Amino acid sequence: MIVDKAIYAEGRRQDIDGDISDAVDLARSRGDCFVWIGLFEPDEDEFELIRDELRLHPLAAEDAVSAHQRPKLERYDDTLFVVLKTLSYLDDTSDIEVGEIMLFLGRDFVVTVRHGAGNPLGPVRHRLEKDKELLEHGPAAVLYAVCDEVVDHYGVVAHEVEVDIIGLERAVFDPQGRDVTADIYSLKREVLEFRTAEDPLVPVMQEIARGRVAECAGTREYFRDVLDHLLRVDGQVDAHNELLTSVLSAHLALQGKQQNEDMRKISAWAAIIAVPTAIAGIYGMNFEHMPELHWRYGYLLVIVVMAAAMGIVFYKLRKNGWL
């Protein structure tokens, strides 16, 4: 559905009273303004009017409706098609929810198509409308404002992931801690999904910041700032991924150490029990001629020998750290 639509002339907003066709015709006839149409998860029928009126390429229009695209910048005739991945951090589950924003930029129009609950564009539009100087750059200003919002939110999500990693580190090195192997794998999967969303956007921002996209030539310095933030987030995500690998290795090593200690204790007690078992086994063979078999104090002597032998073995094992 269409969530907002307006004409922007000389950095000022003018609401559209009629239909979109009239607004587009007005913008084209004046030549000094552009139309910004915002849609949220449109279906094919809803997007058909926009596609036909603005002469959008069928392949790009299909991508905008179906979503599930990777971040990219493509040119179709005189229209730019930009795909951004949005990220939302869910506090309850520590999951990262991925959405998409797609932008069509022409000389006199911008169409934003949003999929998913993350990064609503209402606040972006309001902030941009307060910056008349930036808005005078036309559709490129809208692209910058949207990219800036998306990348800034990447930084927020990266901070939340860092907090989760710190919590996992504490759990790993807590002597009474639980098994967090599944939690580490789950967060590592979320970080990889984060990386899939932000990493392909780096070359897109580099193309714009280096002046290789003519439509954004007047806003290069703005996009350089977005690129700086994006590269910082990209480095954080790489560091998070490597840190999670180290945390997992440490956790598995500590678990292996604990298992070895448990096995040593089991083996030590088995060695202690083996002493009386061996003596009892010998005297349980029922041979007629055995030492001290008929001696009055033979039973007591065997018990004393067993206890002494077990005590010596226990002392040796305890001294060597097995118990």
* Residues 254-280 pLDDT 10s: 765 555 556 666 666 777 777 777 777
Closest CA to 64 of 77, 87, 48: 48
This prediction has a pTM of 0.78
Helix (H, G, I), strand (E, B) or coil at 84: strand
Helix (H, G, I), strand (E, B) or coil at 6: strand
User: What's the token pair of residue 284?
Assistant: 């349980």
- Alpha helices (H) in 95-138, listed in sequence order: 122-129, 132-135
Q: How confident is the model at residue 2 (pLDDT cuts 50, 70, 90)?
A: confident
pLDDT greater than 70 at residue 155:
yes
* Gap between the Cα atoms of 75 and 144, Å rounded: 17
Starting at the edge strand that comes first in sequence, how are the strands of the sheet with 2-9 ordered?
12-15, 2-9, 33-40, 109-115, 95-105, 79-90, 72-76
Helix/strand number for the chain, H first, E second: 10, 7
Which pairs from 113-118 meet CB under 8 Å and 24+ separation?
A: 113/39, 113/40, 113/42, 113/47, 113/64, 113/65, 114/38, 114/39, 114/40, 114/41, 114/86, 115/40, 115/41, 115/67, 116/86, 116/88, 117/88, 118/86, 118/87, 118/88, 118/153
Range in 47-51, 213-217, 265-269 the model is least confident about = 265-269
pLDDT greater than 70 at residue 323:
no
Kindly tell me the burial class for residue 27, based on how many C-beta atoms sit within 10 Å of its own C-beta (0-12, 13-18, 19 or more). buried
Query: What pLDDT, in 10s, does the model give residues 79-119?
Result: 999 999 999 998 888 889 999 999 999 988 999 999 987 77
**Span between the terminal Cα atoms of the chain, in Å:** 70
pLDDT of residue 145: 95
